[in-house]
Chains A and B, each alone.
Chain A
Amino acid sequence: MSEPSHPTAAPQDLGREALTLGVSPDTGEIGKPRSLWSDAWHDLRRNPTFIVSALLILFLIVVAVVPSLFTGTDPKFCDLSHSNETSAPGHPFGFTRQGCDIYARVIYGARASVMVGVLVTSGVVLIGGVIGALAAFYGGALDAVLSRITDTFFAIPLLLGAIVFLQAFPFRNIWTVVAAIMILGWPTVARIMRGAVISVKESDFVTAARALGASDMRILRRHILPNAIAPVIVVATISLGLFIVLEATLSFLGIGLPSSTVSWGSDINDAQSSLRSAPHVLLYPSVALSITVLAFMLLGDAVRDALDPKLR
């Protein structure tokens, strides 16, 4: 027998009842202004997950921007005489089958992954955000049309769709890869933005702005977007890691970045054939990829926790 579903008070009643807001009376001192963003930042600063992941990502960005700081070796200089060698002085990670320095390739490979991650995420937030916001704000026929378009793109499986898209191009470069992932990744953001805008749209402060005579543009820019952006930021941060994995997968399948570009994905692809005999060739790029993705996932988690209570 189960416990009867006894009606209980909603948690926010207890909260509001027991904890009156910490405000100073009208006659009080000037407290420091605390915006919701600065509250979130305050929480983040004290969160060890955030600190670790943020430092890691900062490090990765530095590696991506100035790889020459970390290694003097040319990643594309390959000497077959060193094929599959494990570490040697000056080459801590050893060599690939072609005799290229793995350490240098891991360092230089960061750029491709970070670039793809950042470009795709920016593009996806821009496209998805605009579509979702417009659909939700104007509603009606526009919403119906945009939502059906979103659903259509949503239904296409990400990997398969990217493969098909990329086959259409005779050449391969970073831009086609970015475009492929972007075109299939925007629906998620669009949906999140649409949901957020719909809930903010009904708020009293939006009504008040209309009552003042604010234009649609102003309402979207000043009132709706700042209040709807938080869930989008959370999704974007978490998705960044996924996009990097996707690029690596495409490169692994041989249809991503060209072999002239140093990338972890293609290195993992190349390492397949000598898996048994020289596992170190697979190990280093895989670990680099995993750490990168993990860092972004952790960042996304920390940001979500910091922004969540303020979303209410």
Chain B
Amino acid sequence: MTQDTINTTSSADSVRGSEDPNAPVLEVENLHVEFRTRDGVARAVNGVSFDLLPGETLAILGESGSGKSVTAQAIMGILDTPPGFVTQGSVRFRGTELLTLPEKERRRYRGEKIAMIFQDALSSLNPVYSVGYQIGEMFRVHRGASRADAKKKAIELMDRVHIPAARQRVTDFPHQFSGGMRQRIMIAIALSLDPEIIIADEPTTALDVTVQAQVMQLLADLQAESKMGLILITHDLGVVADVADKISVMYAGSLIEQAPSIDLYSNPAHPYTERLLAAIPRVDLKGQELYTIKGIPPNLTDIPAGCAFHPRCPYAQKPICFEQVPPLQDVSSGRRSACHFWKETLDGSIQTR
């Protein structure tokens, strides 16, 4: 991508490649987010910590009400405030604390350093502007590009995300594209300023499975090209298995297990993960029996005492699981689990009550 005709006004602190490859590009530490509603305070995120290395793919896995989307929005700084409030914690991008930055500074990171793509491209794209205009907007606003230059960049990006006949279609409107194509346009917008991290919130949930495969492949290719970090937020254990390097599992606002992909699937260290894996039908298994998790996820205004999962856990023991919140403990290098009985879960010796 040529930059000669565009006035680069971004700060000098993010020349990729000159950084220490082992230093995390994003660090989230002890993040707490609350929603203050009429029905009470919903503790949507309760002490979540993780980091992302350059070029790494982290999946945040959870069902609805787990707090995964809220975490992403807090990182991006697009939380609806009120009713959402970040009450504690730190989000650091290459060492710079983002949560305390004034909005004007924060905006420089949003879109430029960290970009986000969402589930429903049709409602995320503005229906009254052409796609070329929306992609080009990033250049016009952040880089002071002229309309013509922005349009040129837009066509380049559309090519990069494999939208056929980009030159002709740059003036088309979002509704004139299929679901998969719209998702690619969102990816193009996210990519436009060469961010170091892309956060993808359920990017393929609304798509057909063949289109999903195309979009995930595109993300993987782009990542490999530019050493971009990817945070994938989803509930789909299948999609995660294909792309993630490491996985953070969330439940009721807390991080309950973290592990490299291979380890998580072959040998989970938390009953929730274990039960979840046993509950999903697999296309390559015959005669499978689905094991269900009884009950439903808790109301975030009334999270159970002790371990949030204990009412549904087949292995919950009195009194410890009912009274003490299990800390996130180290299982091995790169693995953590928030269960009092992670050892027994890991080696399979855990007893059903």
Contact = CB atoms under 8 A, between A and B. Distances in A.
Say if the two chains contact directly (CB < 8 Å): yes
Nearest to B65: A20
B118 A7 contact: yes
A48 interface: no
B301 A22 contact: yes
Contacts of B125: 7
A276 interface: no
Interface stretch (A9-17, A109-117, A127-135): A9-17
A8 B124 contact: yes
B107 A14 contact: no
Contacts of A18: 35, 42, 44, 65, 67, 70, 84, 300
A181 B69 CA distance: 53
A6 B111 contact: yes
Residues of B contacting A: mostly: mixed
A30 interface: no
A1 interface: yes
A8 B140 CA distance: 19
Contacts of A2: 141
Contacts of A168: none
Contacts of A211: none
B70 A14 contact: yes
Contacts of A11: 80
Interface string B89-120: 00000000000000000010011000011111
Contacts of A25: 295-296, 311
B82 to A, nearest CB: 12
A9 B118 contact: yes
A281 B54 CA distance: 82
Nearest to A1: B141
Interface string B206-220: 000000000000000
B141 A19 contact: no
A88 interface: no
B226 interface: no
Nearest to B72: A9
A72 interface: no
B288 interface: no
Nearest to A18: B44
Given A3-B107, A6-B110, A14 B64 contact: no
A170 interface: no
B124 A14 contact: no
B219 to A, nearest CB: 16
Contacts of A3: 107, 141
B30 interface: no
A32 to B, nearest CB: 15
A10 B44 CA distance: 17
B3 interface: no
Contact of A10 (B70, B107, B120): B120
B10 interface: no
B298 A20 contact: yes
A57 B129 CA distance: 49
A33 interface: no
B254 interface: no
A141 interface: no
A17 B65 contact: yes
Contact of B69 (A4, A17, A21, A22): A17
A25 to B, nearest CB: 5
A3 B108 CA distance: 11
Nearest to B37: A19
A3 B78 CA distance: 13
B333 interface: no
B39 interface: yes
A5 interface: yes
Given A1-B141, A10-B120, A14-B80, A23 B69 contact: no
Contacts of B201: 9
Contacts of A4: 111, 137-138, 140-142
A8 B299 CA distance: 25
Contact of A16 (B64, B84, B107, B134): B64
B69 A20 contact: no
B73 interface: yes
Given A18-B300, A19-B42, A20-B297, 18 more contacts: A4-B138, A4-B141, A4-B142, A5-B126, A5-B137, A9-B69, A11-B80, A13-B69, A13-B119, A14-B69, A16-B64, A17-B65, A18-B67, A19-B299, A19-B300, A20-B64, A20-B65, A22-B299
Closest 4 pairs (CB-CB, A-B)? A7-B124, A20-B65, A18-B44, A4-B141
